[in-house]
């Protein structure tokens, strides 16, 4: 056999080994994340921004699965809407994540309704706003602070308040971000807040003292899907986002990141590894 033929055969063998490694890795990851936790009725979940949209749907879905849910609502109308249904394990409570007094009151109410020596299984930081949608030269510091206060400082403060309760159950936090946390797209205040929540999730997750599991959920990149996330309650995209939430909360070993939608996955990975001068022209 010629030298070139031997070289070609060695390259093909290498490709086969690499392919087998990828298949084994994917299979092991799938098996690792397959088992679910049990005793949903003994687990308590806190969700912010349950007035409408994803937050409300998630609260109702988790209640239907058997979880006990504390649903934070920014308005009395949101509290009333969740109170109307027959959901004995779903407790809507007024909550403004940007207000310290409101967070303290919310925490006190949660503690009063928790059984003795019981912790919080999952905290879902769902509250988020798009903020002012205009060009950079028209934005003010107030525009940035309003978005950062809700999208970044709100989750950080909520985590801080609930850490003691989550330590009791070795709970988990689901921080909701957008692929804007990896890509320079859409509006500056919103993108800045998403980069911040990505950093918060990554840093806190790796701190051994927290004794928790931290996960970051990324929603679809496409602008029309992003608007559906905020303003609609029914679509296939919303259902996919809900399924990611549910898996992050119910899996025995959850993923550290959920990218919802194949277009997000392709865009996120390509933008992370392409040179900046190419990536900046693609977004």
In the three-class reduction of DSSP (H, G, I as helix; E, B as strand; rest coil), residue 48 is classed as coil
Higher model confidence: residue 72 or residue 206? 72
Helices (H) and strands (E) in the chain, counts: 11, 7
Higher model confidence: residue 69 or residue 281? 69
End-to-end CA distance of the chain: 50
- DSSP character string of 231-243: H-S-SHHHHHHHH
The residues, any chain, with a CB within 8 Å of residue 137's CB and separated by 6 or more, are none
The residues, any chain, with a CB within 8 Å of residue 220's CB and separated by 6 or more, are 179, 226, 229, 237, 241, 260, 261, 263, 264
Q: How far apart are CA 211 and CA 69, in angstroms?
A: 22
Q: Reading across the β-sheet that carries 213-219, which strands appear in turn? A: 90-94, 68-73, 44-47, 122-125, 172-178, 213-219, 257-259
- Check: CB of residue 153 under 8 Å from CB of residue 202: no
User: Of the listed 40, 190, 245, 258, which one is catalytic?
Assistant: 190
Q: How far apart are CA 154 and CA 158, in angstroms?
A: 6
Q: What is the pLDDT of residue 225?
A: 47
Give residue 2's pLDDT band: very low, low, confident or very high (50, 70, 90): confident
Q: pLDDT digit string (tens) for 221-257?
A: 444 445 455 555 455 567 888 888 999 999 988 888 8
Average pLDDT over residues 166-192: 79
| Best CA proximity match to 255, nearest among 267, 243, 273 | 243
Strands 172-178 and 213-219: parallel
Q: If one looks up domain 40-282 in CATH, what number appears?
A: 3.40.50.720
Q: Where are the domains of the chain?
A: 1-32, 40-282
- Check: CB of residue 128 under 8 Å from CB of residue 150: yes
Q: What is the pLDDT of residue 236?
A: 58
Residue 190 annotated among the catalytic residues of the structure:
yes
Q: How far apart are CA 79 and CA 77, in angstroms?
A: 5
Q: pLDDT digit string (tens) for 114-156?
A: 999 899 999 999 988 888 877 778 888 999 999 999 999 999 9
Please give the share of the chain, as a percent, with pLDDT higher than 90.
42
Q: pLDDT digit string (tens) for 21-35?
A: 999 999 998 898 889
Q: How far apart are CA 95 and CA 49, in angstroms?
A: 8
Phi, psi for residue 70 in degrees, rounded to 5: -100, 110
User: Which pTM does this prediction carry?
Assistant: 0.85
- Check: CB of residue 189 under 8 Å from CB of residue 148: yes
Please give the share of the chain, as a percent, with pLDDT higher than 70.
78
Spell out where 179-272 has E strands.
Answer: 213-219, 257-259
Q: Does residue 47 come out as left (phi exceeding 0), alpha (psi in the -120 to 50 range) or beta? A: beta
Higher model confidence: residue 208 or residue 191? 191
- Check: CB of residue 190 under 8 Å from CB of residue 236: no
153 DSSP 8-state letter: I
């Amino acid at each position: 056999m010629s030298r070139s033929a031997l070289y070609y055969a060695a390259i093909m063998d290498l490709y086969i080994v690499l392919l087998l490694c990828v298949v084994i890795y994917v299979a092991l990851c799938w098996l690792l994340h397959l088992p679910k936790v049990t005793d949903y009725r003994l687990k308590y979940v806190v969700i912010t921004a349950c007035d409408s949209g994803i937050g409300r749907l998630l609260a109702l879905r988790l209640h239907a699965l058997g979880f006990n849910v504390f649903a934070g609502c920014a308005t009395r109308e949101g509290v009333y809407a969740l109170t109307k249904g027959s959901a004995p394990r779903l407790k809507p409570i007024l909550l403004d994540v940007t207000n310290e007094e409101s967070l303290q009151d919310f925490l006190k109410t949660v503690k009063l309704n928790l059984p003795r020596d019981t912790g919080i299984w999952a905290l879902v930081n769902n509250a988020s706003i798009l903020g002012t949608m205009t060009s950079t030269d028209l934005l003010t510091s107030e525009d940035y602070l309003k978005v950062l206060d809700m999208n970044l400082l709100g989750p950080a403060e909520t985590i801080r308040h609930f850490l003691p309760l989550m330590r009791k159950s070795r709970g988990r936090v689901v921080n909701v971000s957008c692929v804007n946390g990896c890509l320079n797209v859409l509006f500056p205040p919103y993108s800045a807040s998403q980069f911040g929540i990505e950093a918060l999730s990554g840093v806190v997750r790796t701190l051994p003292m927290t004794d928790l599991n931290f996960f970051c959920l990324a929603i679809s990149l496409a602008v029309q899907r992003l608007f559906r996330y905020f303003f609609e309650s029914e679509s296939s995209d919303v259902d996919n986002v809900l399924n990611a939430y549910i898996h992050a909360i119910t899996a025995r070993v959850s993923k550290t990141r959920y990218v919802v939608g194949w277009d997000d996955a392709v865009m996120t990975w390509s933008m992370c590894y392409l040179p900046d001068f190419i990536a900046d022209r693609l977004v």
